[in-house]
Amino acid sequence: MLTPHYTGRFAPSPTGHLHLGSVYTALASFLEARSHHSLWRLRFDDLDTPRNVAGATTHILQTLETLGLHWDGEVDYQSWHLDDYHAVLADFITSGKIYRCQCSRKNLTDIYAQTCRYQCISPDLPHSLRIKTDDQQIIFDDILQGWISQNLATQHGDFILKRKDNIIAYPFAVVLDDARQAVNHVVRGMDLLNATPKQLYLQHLLHLPAPNYLHVPILVDAKGHKLSKQTLATAVDLTAPNRVLFQLLDWLKQMPPFELQNENVGNVLEWAIQHWNVARLKGVKHIAI
């Protein structure tokens, strides 16, 4: 039976293959959903077009299928919804919540100095769009990482919703995406923890419900670097997908019994759903592999 109040998702960017770090997050998100008898949606975060890689979506779909991580419903693509993002930006401009910014990256410090906030910049000039933030504390209770409290103005500043190259920025797009897909349980890597206060702020402005957040540890290599395409993490080797799942369950601290590694994918996943205990990852930020 489905638990209708819970919908999870996996939202990879089609910027290359899935490596162990990405399937680790995918499996955690899948098990959280399935152990709640809930929906697990799939969406491609494909707005950052210069970073998209031809063939990546097909490769990602095949990898998930091979690992038995079957999603519910139609696959969604951010690029199908460009009009929706732009409509919200137009509303935000009208209501004065965002402003045009002409600053170039090289002039920027981490926290934006609000140089363009009080200037009148023509829409015809190249510009990014920034949201006005104020001195407020955003507080949320991450299911694994506990209470997180960040100041919007001093820790995030006026952040970008649309880049100068016209690309809709990730922290903004995801807010509309999760709402559109009725996602209310977001499981993703610790590396995105700092994006969450921005998303909570936008959800509040847009009167959208805030999902629950659960940030799982990230896998790090021997040097302590996050496994990522930037650190040249290779595509997950699918010669023995059951063994991959077994290894991931170990890194998810699920203590899979030794014999499980000889079972097929379906049986490994069935065991994992039945025994899933996310609390074993409480407070864990990194897993060294």
Q: Which token pair is 13?
A: 């960017």
Closest CB to ligand GLU among 171 and 241?
171
Query: Which residues make beta-bridge pairs with 8?
Result: 40
Give 102: exposed, middle or buried? Use CB within 10 Å, 0-12, 13-18, 19+: middle
CB of 128 to ligand GLU, least distance (A): 20
Minimum Å distance from CB 66 to ligand GLU?
Answer: 19
CB of 189 to ligand GLU, least distance (A): 7
Asked if 179 interacts with ligand GLU (CB under 6 A), we say: no
Is residue 28 close enough to count as binding ligand GLU by CB under 6 A? Answer: no
- Tokens at residue 68, please? 């038995």
Question: CA–CA separation, 172 vs 190, rounded Å?
Answer: 18
Q: Residue 19 interacts with ligand GLU (CB under 6 A)?
A: no
Residue numbers 45-74 binding ligand GLU by CB under 6 A = 45
Looking at residue 19, what DSSP letter applies?
B
Q: Would you say 100 or 188 has its CB closer to ligand GLU?
A: 188
Q: Tell me the one-letter amino acid at 266.
A: G
Contacts of 277 (CB under 8 A, 6+ apart): 254
**Considering only 10-18, 123-131, 133-141, 260-268, which stretch makes contact with ligand GLU by CB under 6 A?**
10-18
Q: Report the alpha-carbon distance of residue 76 to residue 95 in Å, rounded.
A: 30
> How many other CB atoms are found less than 10 A from the CB of residue 232?
9
**174 is a site residue for ligand GLU (CB under 6 A):** yes
Q: How far is the CB of 177 from ligand GLU (least distance, A)?
A: 8
**Integer Cα distance of 195 and 25 in angstroms:** 16
Can residue 192 be called a binding residue for ligand GLU (CB under 6 A)?
Answer: yes
Is residue 12 involved in binding ligand GLU (CB under 6 A)?
yes
Assess 193 for contact with ligand GLU (CB under 6 A): no
211 DSSP β-pair partners: none
Nearer to ligand GLU, 42 or 245 (CB): 42
How many Cα atoms within 13 Å fall on the side-chain side of residue 9? 27
Q: Does 13 bind ligand GLU (CB under 6 A)?
A: yes
Q: Which stretch binds ligand GLU (CB under 6 A): 6-14, 30-38, 105-113, 260-268?
A: 6-14
Binding span for ligand GLU by CB under 6 A among 9-17, 98-106, 118-126, 246-254: 9-17
3-class secondary structure, 158:
coil
Distances (CA, A) of 287 to 75, 138, 223, 255, 271: 30, 27, 12, 14, 22
* Contact call for residue 143 and ligand GLU (CB under 6 A): no
Which stretch in 11-19, 67-75, 119-127, 145-153 sits in contact with ligand GLU by CB under 6 A? 11-19
Identify which of residues 77 and 267 has a Cβ nearer to ligand GLU in the complex.
Answer: 77
The terminus-to-terminus CA distance of the chain in angstroms comes to 36
In the complex, the residues that contact ligand GLU under the rule CB under 6 A are 11-13, 45, 174, 188, 192
